[in-house]
């Protein structure tokens, strides 16, 4: 009887280590900037593929994900729905850019929405 009481009591005493507010742990705050820097590997009507490493346009089809991942490194498809049309017109395959974006879906390539894009010098 005492053993059952000890087990039942122990089950309700687990601590998350952060004061019980674990759902917000390590989540970016609303005003934090999320950025991704890379090369435009592919442009489509409403999205672009940006890769960590510069790859050839024909390699951007990523039919073999293992081979693509080795060449491209990190890669994210960004929806361009939130971007101004005049900004989209300045984008070309091969451009080195920095993208402000929303959260990235954990897939490969990742998926997110671009909020802003800046061209960078490719040194």
CATH class of 33-119: mainly beta
Least confident of 6-15, 35-44, 55-64, 67-76: 6-15
52-63: pLDDT as tens digits:
999 988 888 878
What percentage of residues in the chain have a pLDDT greater than 90? 62
> Which alpha helices (H) appear in 12-58, and where do they start and end?
none
| 56 contacts: CB under 8 Å, gap ≥ 6 | none
Q: Which residue has the higher pLDDT, 19 or 115?
A: 115
Give the C-alpha distances (Å, rounded to integers) separating 17 from 12, 23, 46, 98.
14, 12, 43, 36
Pull the structure tokens for residue 41: 């590997």
């Amino acid at each position: 009887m005492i053993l059952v009481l000890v087990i039942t009591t122990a089950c309700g005493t687990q601590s998350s280590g952060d004061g019980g507010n674990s759902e917000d742990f390590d989540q970016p705050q609303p005003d934090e900037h999320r950025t991704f820097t890379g090369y435009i590997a592919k442009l489509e009507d409403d999205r672009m593929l940006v890769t960590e490493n510069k790859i050839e346009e024909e390699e951007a089809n990523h039919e073999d994900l293992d081979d693509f991942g080795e060449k491209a490194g990190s890669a994210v498809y960004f929806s361009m729905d939130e971007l101004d049309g005049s900004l989209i017109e300045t984008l070309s395959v091969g451009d080195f850019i920095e993208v402000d974006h929303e959260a990235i879906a954990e897939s490969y390539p990742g998926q997110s929405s671009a909020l802003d894009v800046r061209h960078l010098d490719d040194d």
